[in-house]
Structure 1
Amino acid sequence: MRVCFLAPELLPNQGGVGTYSVEILRQLAGRVDLTVLTPLRQRGTEVYDRNRLEEYFGGRITILPISEAHDTFRYNLAFQRAVRRYLGREGRQEKFDLIHSQHAHMPDLLVRKVDRRSVATVRTMHTTILGQRQGIRIARELGGRLESSERWQMTLAPILGMAERSILRRPHDTYIAVSEWMRRELVALKVPSDRIHVIHCGGDPERFRPDLRQPDRLRSSPERRTVLYPGRPTLVKGAGVLARAIPQVIEQFPNAEFVFTGGGAEEFLRIADLAPDVASHVRFLGYLPYEELPQVYAAADLVIAPTYYEDFPIRILESLASGVPVVASEVGGIREVVVTGSTGTLVPPGRPESLARAIVDLLGNSELRARLGAAGRKRIVEEFS
């Protein structure tokens, strides 16, 4: 079988879609004939070109960077156009049997037919445009400034919504919902239920393991306890509510330390406007190599995801696989893996007092953290690996 895999995110991956793409390609490599279309990415002076990407996957996949990606919302359109050009020009020779697309990036938005054929399309639904817009709207109403990509999403919301509806109406596509919650959202958007298959995202318990734990890797001093926020702190991902919760946590637990991985440091500090004595408890590590993430997760005492809208975040699965408990918002598919009192704590979205209380309760109870972490890893191994 010849498969064309559309990867709007890949190494160095920007988020959950990138992680999903990397891991599924690792599993598929050598089992099917794979051609991956992806934007060319650069981090600092490092360029992730075709040779570097193909080498990462052992030379068993053809990877074609067909556009350029920057850390902005607009690169999606350039990638969509490049996908249309490639499949319109090369599709005649390649004779693909299947296209695997990632939503809500909509990389196949402009593709109708390949070589005048309606090639079967499988679309993994990580999120929806409608859901993202609702989450951003709620986050904005509860206070805070939108990040640049969020402003673009809201500005283009009517156009993006129409584009999404046009994709979801295509009559022969098959959908992978990464949670039961996403399946229900697709049914509400009029996608026939018999074309939806629920396949949860998984964590890799062999890569993410408790035995990798070295707390001093994250702690700035031995007495500190680290709260890890993996990812870009945008408003919809809870940056505003976290900014209001941090001072409350520091007041009640002075040894707490908040560590961020990924971009967005300057944006978050503008949103947070933290007093100097509180800001000294916040550190930003920036983007880290994909290979270092297992050690980073394992070193944390607690991982947080105070989001307003999320389907089934891979970062939560990686945290639990590492034996680290999670404090997360009670939204979306998160409720299918995080259970209060069992694998972590769920809190209402947009409630800084509830978020702060949950963080303090876990930081102050090492036995509870250990019990929740062990139960979380067990659940990943048995149900979500």
Structure 2
Amino acid sequence: MTTDTMRVLYLTEEAIGFSDALVRGGAIHVRNVVTGLRERGHEVFLVDWNDAPERPYQRSVSPRIRPVAGALATLSRAVSVGRTESVDVIVSKTRKTYLPGAAAAAVLGVPHAVHVGSTLGVDGGGLRARVEAAAVGARLRVPHAGYLVVCAYIGRQLRERGVPADRVYDVRNAVDVERFAPAGPPLPDRYAAALPEDGFTVGFVGGLHRYKGVYDLLTAVNRCRSDVTAVVAGDGPERDRLETVAGERAVFLGAVPYEHVPAIYRAVDAFVLPSYTEGLPRVVLEAQATETPVVATRVGGVPEVIDDGETGLLCPPGRPDALARAVDRLAAAPDERARLGRNGRAAVIESYSWEELYDRYERALARICDR
């Protein structure tokens, strides 16, 4: 079957708001994909876990006991909406919707696609992380008609696990290049007042989890020859411990509303993402779009968006000394910072706009429906 207009049922365990600013990258992705495909003429229906849905095409469920009731409620609602709206394909965005989505698609006799935004397996993190990684692997071993991945690295991981190559579609990530631009509203005073007046600043935006490598960033800053301060925007389970070990060369802003995140990138001299594992991190694209030079670790899909020495700098993960050398290199070279910033924005505009992502989604879903 090939149609110009598709009827798509999109599933996620996140609560999607259409009138607020949102913070989580995954929620922004869902909202924009649903809205963007609808604006292109497709009928897209959303089942999310939400007590306050805002749109008529948002058919939310409100599970009270999320691990079990969420999956069952999602399955029931997906079958109901799928039948009523005669959908052509189901897309499951988040891990807890993979199995309900596959089951609903089997009942309805339509293809099912999973969105895979994180690398497979686990790098450290203890027993809980290993259990979660095993659970995700089991969900992905259920045959799906399509696998929408955010980078070629995840595509290779899936193929190594036996997924046929012709079922893997690289839809990538995207960033709003108009919102994330070199010029724009300044950082509000309540945040700007916390930034140092002198010296070189490196920013971090994201959740404060061990795998994000923020400890390595703080260690690197203390080893830099230059006068460097880390500006950390985000919250998470490691925040208290990080603040304890940070010393005077770090500023913690807490969770910053998404509307002010572009100003964070513009306010710092460079952006650093020292993660141990990533898919295709949207924060790198956002920083590049603002012409902020980026230093990141060579993990997951990061090398697909950073050409080392051209659109940013790459370092091995778990190496604070390498991070320190890269930061010192940028601190001493304003011309190089400007060049990396310009090149980074040009690369994002060329391949990572939302319109480009909608094109990739349309092509992938059309092929999945044809199969």
- TM (normalized to structure 2)? 0.81
Partner of residue 288, structure 1: 256
Partner of residue 317, structure 1: 285
User: In structure 2, do the counterparts of structure 1 residues 62 and 290 end up closer, same or farther at CA, with 3 Å as the change threshold?
Assistant: farther
Give the aligned length. 339
- For each residue in 1:177-203, what CA deviation from the matched residue of structure 2 results, as whole angstroms up to 9, or x when unmatched? 222222211111111111122222222
Whether 2:164 is the aligned partner of 1:161: answer no
1:67 to 38, 59, 62: 62
1:122 to 113, 120, 133: 113
Whether 2:84 is the aligned partner of 1:109: answer no
1:20 to 17, 25, 29: 29
Displacement of 1:352 in angstroms is 0.9
Partner of residue 40, structure 1: 50
Contact 2:98 2:114 in 1 (8 A): no
Moved over 6 A (4+): none
Partner of residue 267, structure 1: 238
Contact 1:320 1:376 in 2 (8 A): yes
CA distance, structure 2, for counterparts of residue 2 and residue 366 of structure 1 = 50
Which shows bigger deviation, 196-205 or 368-377?
196-205
User: In structure 2, do the counterparts of structure 1 residues 107 and 340 end up closer, same or farther at CA, with 3 Å as the change threshold?
Assistant: same
CA distance, structure 1, for counterparts of residue 34 and residue 169 of structure 2 = 19
CA distance, structure 1, for counterparts of residue 127 and residue 70 of structure 2 = 20
Whether 2:69 is the aligned partner of 1:98: answer no
1:333 to 289, 294, 301: 301
Cα RMSD for the two superposed structures: 2.8
Displacement of 1:350 in angstroms is 0.6
Displacement of 1:328 in angstroms is 0.5
User: In structure 2, do the counterparts of structure 1 residues 75 and 117 end up closer, same or farther at CA, with 3 Å as the change threshold?
Assistant: closer
Partner of residue 140, structure 1: none
- SS of equivalent to 1:236: helix
Partner of residue 241, structure 1: 216
2:176 to 204, 222, 238: 204
Contact 2:196 2:229 in 1 (8 A): no
- SS of equivalent to 1:3: strand
- For each residue in 1:18-41, what CA deviation from the matched residue of structure 2 results, as whole angstroms up to 9, or x when unmatched? 232233233123322222122238
2:162 to 181, 186, 190: 190
Kindly indicate whether structure 1 or structure 2 has the higher relative contact order, using CA contacts under 8 Å at least 6 residues apart: 2
CA distance, structure 1, for counterparts of residue 134 and residue 168 of structure 2 = 25
User: In structure 2, do the counterparts of structure 1 residues 297 and 65 end up closer, same or farther at CA, with 3 Å as the change threshold?
Assistant: farther
Partner of residue 80, structure 1: 71
- SS of equivalent to 1:285: strand
Contact 1:183 1:198 in 2 (8 A): yes
Q: Which runs of 5+ in 2 are unaligned?
A: 1-5, 354-371
What amino acid is aligned across from residue 185 of structure 1 in structure 2?
A: Q
Partner of residue 143, structure 1: none
Identity percentage over the alignment?
A: 29
Q: Which runs of 5+ in 1 are unaligned?
A: 42-48, 55-60, 138-145
- SS of equivalent to 1:350: coil
What amino acid is aligned across from residue 62 of structure 1 in structure 2?
A: Y
Which shows bigger deviation, 82-91 or 312-321?
82-91
CA distance, structure 2, for counterparts of residue 176 and residue 211 of structure 1 = 33
1:181 to 142, 153, 167: 153
Partner of residue 2, structure 1: 7
Whether 2:320 is the aligned partner of 1:344: answer no
Whether 2:152 is the aligned partner of 1:152: answer no
Contact 2:180 2:289 in 1 (8 A): yes
Which shows bigger deviation, 337-346 or 287-296?
287-296
- TM (normalized to structure 1)? 0.78
